[in-house]
Chains A and B, each alone.
Chain A
Amino acid sequence: MIELKYPQYNETVYKEQLENGLTVVVEPKKGFQKTYASLTIKYGSIDNTFISYDNEKKEMPAGIAHFLEHKMFDKDGYDAMDVFSRYGASSNAFTSFNRTSYLFSCTNYVNENLNTLLDFVQSPYFNEKKVNKEKGIIAQEIKMYNNDPNAALYFNTIQNMYPDSHLNVDIAGTVDSINKITADDLYTAHKTFYQPSNMQLNVVGNVDPDKVIKIIKENQDKKTFLPARDIKRVQSPSKKINNSNRRQMDVFNPKVAVGIKGNSALGKDIKYELSISLLLEILFSEDSDNYAYLYNHGIIDDSFGFDFDCNKNFNFAIIAGDTEHPKEFITNIKDILMNAINNLDNYTDDLELIKREEIGQHILIMNSIEATANNLGDSDNHFINLYDEIKLINDITINDLKEYGAKLLLGDNIISNIIIPYSNK
């Protein structure tokens, strides 16, 4: 077991990889009532084409990772959620572009809940009847997201940045694609991706790390697993981009997003991720003159926001908001982006201010058991956690922002996307 100590924050993170490949990360939090655990599989909506464990090339219907997440809970004669509930734990799960996570939170029976978590995620049980029954539920989930213009804007923008990749479909798939999913598909996906070597279990809360590791080891030792095999995803880097897009929805004011598609080779570099996040804060946070100008001219309002999503295989930034002036919104945001690097020397003081803010935000994360568990890092980023990040943020300079900013802010990888009201033909 590796011990990572952060005396400045009175925190220690424990990490161990078990013999079967499962990675376990534990952080004890004294004084807290709760324990939160999340079991994360490196499998998400974009991993749709792959070489299966049995060495066959598979092209799965869109939305299968999310569908599998739903169906894992449904066991022979009971639901895994009910088992957690018996121990007073609440459980949940979610699927993103490249991860599936199962989690629980409890104040008691940590051992029982950990065993329940590992057991239900590692024992597939599907049949056609159960699979077909789920289709109605997920169809309503898809329609719920389709009905939400902010979600639609966000996913549409990503789809236009990556029209030639699996990012071009919503995480949950479409009503048509999920209707094609079969029990066999779920078994294949589970066998291929739900190998212990492709999983990480984070446990944060009122726990003793030695005891937690022992429980997990005992659980894994009782089971037999197929030998670990490398997972081969079939995906070629996205080359196409749709530079502008507009659609109509039932909204009052137009909603606009500007998307910036990053070079996928850079996503593994934590310094790139942190530098770009700081750069966007300098350019668009409420601290910035840009924000003040756009706000006071009625081009943006309080709905304005931005986000940088950085992963091993893809990274993009989205800047979005409601506006009565979509054209001005897009022109101004693009101008700010294209002039950003040349202006950066004027922003040395701003960088120090934004760094302070970021450090404060990281301290805020430490207050929350869940947020801490979601920021412990994984093998994609060399297990850099929130405590390591503070150190890295402190070291970032204006030159880092220039260097990394220049790699992201290229004119032809910036797109715009507009949702306009029906009445506004």
Chain B
Amino acid sequence: MKKYISNGVSLNTIHDDKFKTITITCDLIEPLNINNFEKRALLAELFETNNADYQTQTKLARQLSKMYGASFGTNLLRYGNLSVIRINLSIPNPEFIPGNSSSLLKDAIQFLNSILMHPLTSNSAFDNDTFNLQKSNMQKYISSVADDKQYYASIKLKEYYYQDDINRGKFLFGDVDQYDKINSSDEYKYYQDVIKNNNIRISVLGKFDDEKLISYINEFNFSDRDEIYKIDCFKHNKNTVEYITENTNATQSNLNMAYNLPIYYDSSDFFAALLFNAIFGGSSQSKLFKNVREKYSMAYYANSMFNSLNGVLMVNSGIDANNAEKVQSIVNEQLVSIQNKDINLDILNSIKSEMITAKRSILDNPRQSLEQSFVNSLLNKKWNFEKWRKNIESINVDQIANVAKKVQLQTVFLLKGDKK
């Protein structure tokens, strides 16, 4: 069921009796704007920390335990040109807990209400102690990102690739220095804007009563939003290839490559692009796995990902620094072989079967189901498994080769480990 609570605020429910939990998601959506990155990241943290109803982190945590180990957390996500704060909450279905606490869903929605609508504030500002501690923790987190070399390399690749669209390229949690410029009343102003103008989508999956749920959610009193935000695709328009090497004190090197692949979720060759990616580096049957890893023994992982909102293909690998050039040429050979239609039909069919299995399996996972339904709603797509399956099955080698011909290398980022 999909119901509009107010203009720009919707409630989506999916009923599924097989799960023993009720999974709740609340997405806050606005266009990416680098001027807000730090404030937005902090807001997601503040939501997690406390509020006027649960004034300390301990009280908030204890309320979650009271709700039978409800899991709760926030994520900051990027979909094309849109920025999403996702609040995740899930509770056991009351049927399965001792004493059958039937008020549990109501408690959980009220908890969500506290998080969203009743922040801990004084004098039109977030509580200073909470704000300062979370700000300093966020700065530490950002400074520590380079501890994880794989993650760091993927962040840097995006920064270089999206130089012309900094909203898509910049690290979503912002810059350490920028945090120094924000105070708790700036943050509160931003919060008010978010609550007033962000598009909001609340989704609930499991076994529950719609009418009761709606009555709980009506208590939020959401106002109408002026604007409804839509996904914009990214068009890349560079012709030169950029090579960047950064040195680091590490035992392994990370070679990451970005290619322009101007195919989008609504393109006629979208399904061919999905299969191209699976054959190139997106599965354990892929050419990158079979060659960079199995044939040449040069990596433990070497894979690719295709993003149909930004028309980009990205390759990640962990290798020895002195193999960097060799690995680049092996990766390129795989691309050329697909362009030349060198695709084993048995492998193509296997990959199709695996993709169909993976798609069907989404229904077994509440979070993945909600994610799929969220993306479809952003893209205004009606999703149908049988149609999807037929589309995948219909794709042939020629179509995949044609996709491969559109792939253009743009950015190569090598995080070079110089330790033996």
Contact = CB atoms under 8 A, between A and B. Distances in A.
B299 A149 contact: no
A366 B90 CA distance: 14
Interface string A284-311: 0111110110011010011000000000
Contact of A144 (B140, B252, B347): B252
Interface stretch (B184-192, B229-237, B243-251, B396-404): B243-251
B358 A90 contact: yes
B297 A135 contact: yes
Contacts of A143: 251-252, 318, 320
A286 B59 CA distance: 9
Contacts of B19: 367
Interface string B282-303: 0111000000011011111100
Contacts of A369: 364
A360 B285 contact: no
A138 B300 contact: yes
B284 A134 contact: no
Interface stretch (A217-225, A248-256, A399-407): A248-256
A148 interface: yes
B33 interface: no
B20 A366 contact: yes
Contacts of B68: 356-357, 359-360, 363
Nearest to B319: A140
Most buried by B among A141, A143, A253, A291: A143
B140 A301 contact: yes
B310 interface: no
B353 A85 contact: yes
A334 B228 CA distance: 54
A147 B97 contact: no
A366 B95 CA distance: 14
A82 B363 CA distance: 25
B149 A147 contact: yes
Interface string B39-64: 00000000000000000111001101
A86 B350 contact: yes
A56 to B, nearest CB: 31
B64 to A, nearest CB: 7
Interface string B380-398: 0000000000000000000
Contacts of A137: 293-294, 297, 299-300
Given A30-B18, A141-B300, A287 B252 contact: no
A133 B298 CA distance: 10
Interface string B53-80: 0001110011011111111000000000
A135 B293 CA distance: 11
B146 A252 contact: yes
Interface string A195-220: 00000000000000000000000000
Contacts of B299: 137, 140
A364 B367 CA distance: 12
Interface string A341-357: 00000000000011011
B360 A33 contact: yes
A358 interface: yes
A82 to B, nearest CB: 7
A355 to B, nearest CB: 9
Nearest to B284: A81
Given A322-B144, A360-B69, A250 B249 contact: yes
A82 B252 CA distance: 29
Nearest to B318: A144
Contacts of A291: 57-58, 61
Interface string A83-121: 001111110000000000000011110000000000000
A353 B300 contact: no
B354 A89 contact: yes
A366 to B, nearest CB: 5
Contacts of A85: 283-285, 347, 350-351, 353-354
B194 interface: no
Interface in A33-81: 33-34, 79, 81
Contacts of B293: 137
B339 interface: no
Most interface-central of B90, B296, B350, B363 (chain A CB within 10 A): B350
A359 to B, nearest CB: 6
Nearest to A172: B300
Highest count of chain A CB atoms <10 Å: which of B129, B141, B366: B141
Nearest to B148: A148
Contacts of B283: 85
Contacts of B149: 147-148
Contacts of B148: 148-150
A52 B61 CA distance: 51
A146 B250 CA distance: 9
Nearest to A105: B361
Contacts of A250: 146-147, 248-250
A149 B350 CA distance: 37
A141 B150 CA distance: 13
Contacts of A88: 350, 353-354, 356-357
B377 interface: no
A137 B289 CA distance: 11
Nearest to A362: B69
B91 interface: yes
B240 interface: no
A136 interface: yes
Contacts of B349: 86
A422 interface: yes
Interface in B264-318: 283-285, 293-294, 296-301, 318
A368 interface: yes
Given A85-B284, A289-B58, A292-B56, A147 B250 contact: yes
A46 B57 CA distance: 41
B181 to A, nearest CB: 21
Contact of A34 (B17, B249, B364, B417): B364
Interface string B119-143: 0000000000100010011001101
A354 B65 contact: yes
B260 interface: no
A140 B298 contact: yes
Interface string B335-353: 0000000000011011101
A8 B95 CA distance: 9
A353 B62 contact: yes
Given A33-B364, A85-B284, A252 B66 contact: no
Interface of A: 8-9, 29-34, 79, 81-82, 85-90, 105-108, 133-138, 140-141, 143-144, 146-150, 250-253, 285-289, 291-292, 295-296, 298, 301-302, 322, 324, 353-354, 356-361, 363-364, 366-369, 422
16 contacts: A31-B16, A32-B364, A85-B283, A85-B351, A90-B284, A136-B297, A137-B297, A143-B251, A143-B320, A252-B140, A289-B58, A298-B136, A322-B144, A353-B62, A363-B20, A363-B69
The 9 A-B residue pairs with the shortest CB-CB distance, nearest first, are: A360-B69, A136-B297, A88-B353, A31-B18, A360-B68, A286-B61, A357-B69, A141-B300, A85-B350
Given A31-B18, A358-B69, 13 more contacts: A33-B361, A81-B285, A106-B357, A143-B320, A147-B417, A250-B249, A252-B147, A295-B57, A301-B137, A357-B65, A363-B68, A364-B21, A364-B90
